[in-house]
Structure formats: structure tokens, C-alpha cells
């Protein structure tokens, strides 16, 4: 972030006004606008963060490419490469924001990926790509700690390994009884088998540590990976 805020392009200025209006008087959501001018990153973003639980919405006008991207819950993203029809873009983005805030969405699994289906208030239906690939281009720009989840998305889905904290973008649990029997690429623990209670989780973790934190799928181990930073992702109730 820089000290001096440059004026956003007209479409982003219109989006900011529209989102402010959408969230006016709501105590459950906060709206923040930022201007970013850093090496490799130049543009304007707006972040809708729910107060308490909830998936956030984050959209970004890229000043290098003059395009717009929107991300929901730190994972599902949409993009607009052509922004000439400003009114249509504003209606789309606003419709998506309103739908997320209303919980008007669902998660669908396709193989190892998950997708988000969303019914926007302007009548359009959207499908967001999810999963590991789509996360990568965004990792750099997401605020520290990511965006909190909102409604269905975060309450229904648990993708972080309870044993080691690795998140490969797969639903390990889709609710308290929704084990998906996913084997962790990192520690090898299987959801619904090795992580059913805290005692088992800790035992499994201790064995994995004793074994040198070896990856179950060594090909997927990122270069320079360390177990300690990843452990910070383990939900507090599973530590």
C-alpha cells in the first residue's frame, strides 16, 4: 500500500459506490478499499469482510492489465476481461456480493476439484473454479490470514488437514458427519479415519513427527517446505 491514493478507473469507482450502498447500514459486514502500488502489483481492491463468521468477497482491478477479478472465500474466483459495459460489470459484481452475503450459493465436487455455484441477485448463475490450481495465482495478493468464511461455505467445508494443517483444496469434511475420506498428500492421514477425535489426531501427528514429517506424496512437496509454518493452519480445536 502506498501513502498517496491514485484515483481508481471509472468502473472501479462505480463498483466502490455500489458496494458501499449495498452494505450501508449493515453491522455484519465491513468494506475496505485499498490502492496497491508495489513491484509486480498495481491496482485497486475492495474487501468485504463479514464481522464474525462468513466468506469474504474480494475484488481487484488490475492496473497493469485493466481487468477485474473477484474472489470468494479465499478460493473461488471470477474474472472480467472486458469492462467496456460498465453497468453490466457493476450489476454482476453487486449481484455476486449480495448473493454471498445472503448465503445463496453451494459447493459441488468434481473429482479432486470443487466448484462454487452461485445465483446472483441480477439473475445470473455463476460457477467459480476452485481447488489448488485456482488458488495459486491469488496467493500473493490475499491479505494475511486470508478472508474469513461466510455462511454455508465455511460452516460446511473443512479442507485443512486436522493432523498437519495442509490444505490441498479438497473437502476433507463437508460438515460434522461429512467425512470425505481424503488422504492427506502431506501427512497421509485420512479424513474420517485418522481424525475422528483429538486423541487420534495427536497420536497420528506424533507418529508423523517421529517419522521426520515425510510427505505421503513426495511429488507434491513444495520446494523449501517446512512443517512449522503449516502447523499454524491447524484449527485450534485440533491442536
* Contacting positions for Zn ion (CB under 5 A): 161, 163-164, 166, 184, 186-187, 189
Kindly give the interhelix angle for 86-101 and 10-23, rounded to the nearest 10 degrees: 30
Q: d(Cα 51, Cα 91) in Å, to the nearest integer?
A: 24
Of the two residues 157 and 189, which places its CB atom closer to Zn ion in the complex? 189
Task: Please check whether residue 184 is in contact with residue 216, taking contact to mean a CB–CB distance below 8 angstroms.
Answer: yes
Triad 214, 145, 118: Cα angle to 5°: 100
Task: Please check whether residue 70 is in contact with residue 59, taking contact to mean a CB–CB distance below 8 angstroms.
Answer: yes
Of the two residues 114 and 172, which places its CB atom closer to Zn ion in the complex? 172
CA dihedral 23, 26, 30, 35 (to 10 degrees): 30
Helix (H) or strand (E) holding 203: helix 198-210
Of the two residues 91 and 183, which places its CB atom closer to Zn ion in the complex? 183
Of the two residues 59 and 208, which places its CB atom closer to Zn ion in the complex? 208
3-class state of residue 96 by DSSP: helix
Q: How far is the CB of 214 from Zn ion (least distance, A)?
A: 12
Of the two residues 74 and 168, which places its CB atom closer to Zn ion in the complex? 168
Task: Please check whether residue 158 is in contact with residue 148, taking contact to mean a CB–CB distance below 8 angstroms.
Answer: no
Of the two residues 92 and 170, which places its CB atom closer to Zn ion in the complex? 170
Q: How far is the CB of 234 from Zn ion (least distance, A)?
A: 9
Task: Please check whether residue 182 is in contact with residue 172, taking contact to mean a CB–CB distance below 8 angstroms.
Answer: yes
Task: Please check whether residue 74 is in contact with residue 146, taking contact to mean a CB–CB distance below 8 angstroms.
Answer: yes
Amino acid at each position: 500500500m502506498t501513502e498517496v491514493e491514485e484515483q481508481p478507473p471509472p468502473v472501479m469507482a462505480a463498483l466502490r459506490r455500489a458496494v458501499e450502498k449495498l452494505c450501508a447500514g449493515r453491522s455484519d459486514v465491513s468494506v475496505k478499499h485499498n490502492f496497491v502500488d508495489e513491484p509486480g502489483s498495481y491496482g485497486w481492491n475492495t474487501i468485504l469482510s463479514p464481522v464474525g463468521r462468513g466468506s469474504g468477497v474480494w475484488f481487484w482491478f488490475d492496473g497493469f492489465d485493466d481487468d477485474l477479478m473477484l474472489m470468494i472465500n479465499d478460493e473461488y474466483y471470477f474474472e472480467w476481461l472486458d469492462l467496456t459495459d460498465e453497468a453490466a460489470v457493476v450489476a454482476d459484481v453487486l449481484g455476486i456480493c449480495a448473493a454471498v452475503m445472503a448465503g445463496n450459493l453451494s459447493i459441488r465436487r468434481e473429482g479432486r476439484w470443487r466448484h462454487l455455484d452461485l445465483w446472483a441477485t441480477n439473475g445470473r448463475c455463476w460457477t467459480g473454479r476452485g481447488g489448488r490450481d485456482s488458488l495459486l495465482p491469488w496467493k500473493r495478493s490475499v491479505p494475511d490470514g486470508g478472508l474469513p468464511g461466510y455462511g454455508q461455505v465455511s460452516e460446511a467445508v473443512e479442507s485443512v488437514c486436522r493432523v498437519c494443517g495442509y490444505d490441498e483444496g479438497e473437502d476433507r469434511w463437508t460438515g460434522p458427519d461429512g467425512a470425505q475420506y481424503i488422504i492427506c498428500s502431506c501427512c497421509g492421514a485420512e479424513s474420517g479415519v485418522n481424525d475422528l477425535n483429538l486423541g487420534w489426531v495427536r497420536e497420528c501427528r506424533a507418529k508423523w513427527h517421529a517419522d521426520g514429517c515425510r510427505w505421503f506424496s513426495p511429488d507434491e512437496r513444495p520446494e523449501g517446505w517446512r512443517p512449522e509454518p503449516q502447523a499454524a493452519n491447524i484449527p485450534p480445536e485440533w491442536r
